[in-house]
Amino acid sequence: MSQPDDADPEAAPTPAAYDDLLERYGRATYLGDANAVLSWDQEVMMPEGGTPARSKQRGAVSAVAHDVLVDDETAELLEELERADLPAPKAAAVREIRREHERNARVPTDLVEEISTATSEAHPVWQEAKETDDFDAFAPTLERLLDLKRRYAGHVAPDADPYATLFADYEPCLDLSTAEDVLEELREGLVPLIEAIGESGAEPYALDGTFPESDQLAVTREALETLGYDFERGRLDTAPHPFSTGTQFDARVTTRFDESEPLDSLASTIHEFGHANYTLGLPRGAYGSPLGEHRGLSVHESQSRLFENHVGRSEPFWALFVDRFNDHHGTDLTERQAYEAANRVYDDNLVRVEADELTYHLHIVLRFEIERDLVAGDLDVAEVPAVWNDRMEEYLGVRPEADAEGCLQDIHWSHGSFGYFPTYSLGSVLAAQLYAAAEADLDDLEGQIAAGEFDALREWLAENVHEHGRRYTTDELVEQATGEPLTAEYFLEYAEEKFGELYELDR
């Protein structure tokens, strides 16, 4: 990573405290990344019986990482460096470490350890509850996690809205009000569009049949290769809930297969590719420093959404990929059929991760409202299934018959991740904004995609997003990359145009 400010001959020499601070922060980072490996293993490889030991292991690693970040020596180094005249990238690193130090120093180690143990123990409980469609079996766990995270938020910022505090763990550089505004804009723009689609009578092509897992695996692997995923720095595995995790040296992707929905595993894999591609694009030389870490979940999600939707659900992508899809599955789809099938709007779909680009955001609005009320204590855990089902009916006109496809569907709450969901919509919106900027900068991006050339797009993203790590705040990053602040306009414009054409809307 270039740090031009360091080359300034007039600059004051960097105090030794900077290296000391970075060494300490590095240790905390490595421990955090070790914990991410334990977590990947737990979800992808670990036999069920391993849970009690794994909980202890993750709890211990979290606790020591926390201790390193919060101790007095770290605090003293931060104070010294904040008085120093540092070059801008180093000042940014100090700013980021300060934020994490504050968040952690205010939370007692015991509580950190308890949260880690509780979330580790919660995972199999949630999994079992989902499998047996038994919300009551998960309710006490959810209650415990809410209580722990409320206590956590109370320590971090006693006078703030606890939900805003939790949200900032995932998106530290945008106000919760920005999230609220974006969700509001999306709801206002999308509800009439989805209604119009429902009334259009248009019937885009739909896939039918059975698509064996082994063929889907071959398709998803080929998609990853096509997009340029480096298997020497990653893996593809299956997991109950697809995710991506890792470092710039080893960023892994998981997927899952439904034999009747081969486009779901493909879209999901391309989505996780976008995440892994961001992670792998972080500067390797800055591993262990905030300058080598991602900028927060909204930016992370922008990278996955850009590939999932703007690439993987585009006409040029299907011009490129339809033959490969047909070869593996023995189908005979045309480009247009595949494109239509990949972009059907399902206003009766209950499951977020299977949602289309439009209804997806209403799934997020629903979760956002429920978890905000849960954290505030305005909603009892026991009421969640009923409220969930009522709102699904209100927003999408469809009611889950089982909690397994209702409020038990997502892994997030079992991780204690309250405040995470809004970053999905923020990421979608940013994806559209970044894609528009990339299209303006690059020569015939659509033509490149149709030709299977992804280098220029990936380089543009690397230069404008990945390589900066946490050098800039989210606001600054968005402004630099796109020339304007974060806005939902690009997404809504894109949605109107794409789905207007697909559903023959005259708007």
Q: Measured between alpha carbons, how far is 53 from 262 in angstroms, rounded to an integer? A: 36
The terminus-to-terminus CA distance of the chain in angstroms comes to 47
Identify which range of 26-34, 270-278, 383-391, 405-413 contacts a copy of itself by CB under 8 A: 26-34
Structural contact between residues 78 and 97, judged by C-beta atoms closer than 8 angstroms:
yes
53 binding a copy of itself? (CB under 8 A): yes
Minimum distance from CB of 244 to a copy of itself (Å)? 14
Q: Identify the CA nearest to 28 among candidates 79, 59, 70, 77.
A: 70
31 binding a copy of itself? (CB under 8 A): yes
Buried b (16+ CB within 10 A) or exposed e, 448-480: bbbeeebebbbebbbebbbbbbbbbbbeebbee
Is 412 among the annotated ligand-binding positions?
Answer: no
64 binding a copy of itself? (CB under 8 A): yes
SS in 3 state form for 308-363? HHHHCCCHHHHHHHHHHHHHHHCCCCCHHHHHHHHCCCCCCCCCHHHCCCCCHHHH
**Among the listed residues 165, 178, 247, 423, the single contact to a copy of itself using CB under 8 A:** 247
SS in 3 state form for 346-407? CCCCCCHHHCCCCCHHHHHHHHHHHHHHHHHCCCCHHHHHHHHHHHHHHHHCCCCCCHHHCC
Minimum distance from CB of 99 to a copy of itself (Å)? 21
Q: Identify the CA nearest to 392 among candidates 343, 429, 346, 341.
A: 346
**Among the listed residues 59, 162, 242, 274, the single contact to a copy of itself using CB under 8 A:** 59
**Among the listed residues 73, 249, 390, 447, the single contact to a copy of itself using CB under 8 A:** 249
**Among the listed residues 2, 9, 48, 455, the single contact to a copy of itself using CB under 8 A:** 48
96 binding a copy of itself? (CB under 8 A): no
- Interface with a copy of itself (CB under 8 A), residue total 43
Is 123 among the annotated ligand-binding positions?
Answer: no
43 binding a copy of itself? (CB under 8 A): no
380 binding a copy of itself? (CB under 8 A): no
List of residues 6+ apart from 56 with CB closer than 8 A? 117
250 binding a copy of itself? (CB under 8 A): yes
SS in 3 state form for 414-433? HHCCCCCCHHHHHHHHHHHH
Element (H, E) at 498: helix 489-502
Looking at the Cβ atoms of 223 and 306, the one nearer to a copy of itself is 223
26 binding a copy of itself? (CB under 8 A): yes
Residue that has been written with the tokens 């409980």 in this structure: 125
33 binding a copy of itself? (CB under 8 A): yes
Minimum distance from CB of 116 to a copy of itself (Å)? 11
Angle between helices 422-441 and 474-482 (to 10 degrees): 30
110 binding a copy of itself? (CB under 8 A): no
Identify which range of 248-256, 299-307, 344-352, 439-447 contacts a copy of itself by CB under 8 A: 248-256
Identify which range of 48-56, 91-99, 311-319, 481-489 contacts a copy of itself by CB under 8 A: 48-56
Identify which range of 58-66, 133-141, 439-447, 491-499 contacts a copy of itself by CB under 8 A: 58-66
List beta partners, residue 247. Answer: 250
125 binding a copy of itself? (CB under 8 A): no
Q: Measured between alpha carbons, how far is 435 from 296 in angstroms, rounded to an integer? A: 19
Q: Measured between alpha carbons, how far is 262 from 256 in angstroms, rounded to an integer? A: 10
The catalytic residues are: 272
Burial of 483 (0-12, 13-18, 19+ CB in 10 A): exposed
Looking at the Cβ atoms of 56 and 187, the one nearer to a copy of itself is 56
Is 301 among the annotated ligand-binding positions?
Answer: yes
38 binding a copy of itself? (CB under 8 A): yes
At 185, list the tokens.
Answer: 């804009």
199 binding a copy of itself? (CB under 8 A): no
54 binding a copy of itself? (CB under 8 A): yes
Minimum distance from CB of 220 to a copy of itself (Å)? 17
Which residues are part of a known binding site? Answer: 271, 275, 301
What is the contact surface with a copy of itself in residues (CB under 8 A)? Answer: 26-27, 30-31, 33-35, 37-38, 41, 45-54, 56-61, 63-64, 68, 230-235, 246-250, 284, 287-288
The binding site for Zn(2+) comprises: 271, 275, 301
